[in-house]
Amino acid sequence: MSKFDEKLATYEAALKQLDPKADMDLLRKVTKGLGPSIYNNDSNKVACSQKSELERVTKNYCEKKLGVSAADGDKAVQAACERYTERVKHRPVFYYLVCKHLGKESVYA
């Protein structure tokens, strides 16, 4: 099993706890899109308690990658924080939740 597949298995298990019917193909695409950041123990997590982190997710992911307004991005990020209550929030799972909330799955088509 490759390192990517090992990481993906971790993310799939975390997502299944939140949504047993989750789109694992979309999760794979979101994870691939994050590139090497998933292998860094600090950058592969999202801290909902850090305002600067959430602003960065809104700006770099929601606005630039998904093409939504800052206001919509903020709402989606807050919704993901409320839904994903685990202490350790895996970035690919968090981004998946944001993407689904915004209905932007087509970005990964």
Quote the DSSP letter at residue 40.
S
Q: State residue 77's pLDDT score.
A: 98
Q: State residue 20's pLDDT score.
A: 95
Q: Which of 97, 96, 89, 101 is nearest to 44 (CA)?
A: 89
Q: Which of 78, 72, 33, 32 is nearest to 53 (CA)?
A: 78
Number of domains observed in the structure of the chain: 1
Name the residue range of residue 19's domain: 3-108
Long-range interactions of 81-88: CB distance < 8 A, separation 24+: 81/48, 81/54, 83/18, 84/18, 84/48, 86/14, 86/17, 88/45
Residue 97: give its domain's CATH number.
1.10.238.120
Q: State residue 1's pLDDT score.
A: 86
Q: Which residues of the chain are modeled with pLDDT < 70?
A: none
